Amino acid sequence: MDSLENLSKIYEKVYVLRLGHRPERDKRITTHVALVSRAFGANGFILEGICDNKVEESLIKASKSWGGKIDYMCNVNGKEFVKKWKEEGGEVINLTMYGLGVEDVIDKISSVPKKKLIIVGAEKVERFYYDNSDYNVAVGWQPHSEVAALAIFLDRLFKGRELLYNYRDAQYRIIPSKRGKKVERR
């Protein structure tokens, strides 16, 4: 395992489904959900019910410089997507503060090589997603953010390895430095 794109292949695919995006209110936060998906090793980002060019442009821009081809779909029917994912043998994980603790379920989730669909909401998440997910998972039982919940969940799923790798086709690579900014162009 030597590159970021290979991580999601452990599970065939790891996709993130973002529910309830409101373009006026959620532009930045949905963009951050998309960027965290890519940077933390997921290989698909799905926007339910709507398209938003700003979100797509940010993903394209990040991938152009820093590599990685994340699958992007928008205006998707979330419920149909979940049903199809399950019919195809995939697992569905809904991130919610009301779920079972991530520490208690992550070993079981990560030991199964099925493709994973990780759901994050914006405001209220419909009952359907609680009922049709294989796991409802809490990252602590405090209300916080879909960005934080997703980052921590992916980090646990990939056991921290996503922080060690770059994408193979990256144009730029950061040379870690104590101070300043060192970037290598490849």
Place of tokens 């921290």: 160
Shortest Å, Cβ 50 to ligand SAM: 16
Tell me, residue by residue from 28 to 67, as one string, x for binding to ligand SAM by CB under 6 A and - for no binding.
----------------------------------------
Q: Does residue 69 touch ligand SAM according to CB under 6 A? A: no
Q: Which two tokens stand for residue 149?
A: 């919940």
Shortest Å, Cβ 157 to ligand SAM: 14
The one among 6, 97, 110, 169 contacting ligand SAM by CB under 6 A: 97
CB proximity list for 131: less than 8 A, separation 6 or greater: none
* Residue list 132-151, contact with ligand SAM (CB under 6 A): 138-140, 142-146, 149
Q: Does residue 106 touch ligand SAM according to CB under 6 A? A: no
Closest to ligand SAM by CB, 70 or 125: 125
How many chain residues touch ligand SAM (CB under 6 A)?
Answer: 16
Pairing assessment for the beta strands 44-48 and 135-138 based on DSSP bridges: unpaired
Q: Which two tokens stand for residue 145?
A: 């953010």
CA atoms within 13 A of residue 141's CA, in its CB half-sphere: 6
Closest to ligand SAM by CB, 124 or 185: 124
- Spatial separation of the C-alpha atoms in residues 38 and 63, rounded to whole Å: 8
Amino acid identity of residue 50, one-letter, is I
* Residue list 148-167, contact with ligand SAM (CB under 6 A): 149
Q: Does residue 121 touch ligand SAM according to CB under 6 A? A: yes
CA atoms within 13 A of residue 85's CA, in its CB half-sphere: 29
Shortest Å, Cβ 31 to ligand SAM: 15
- Spatial separation of the C-alpha atoms in residues 119 and 102, rounded to whole Å: 14
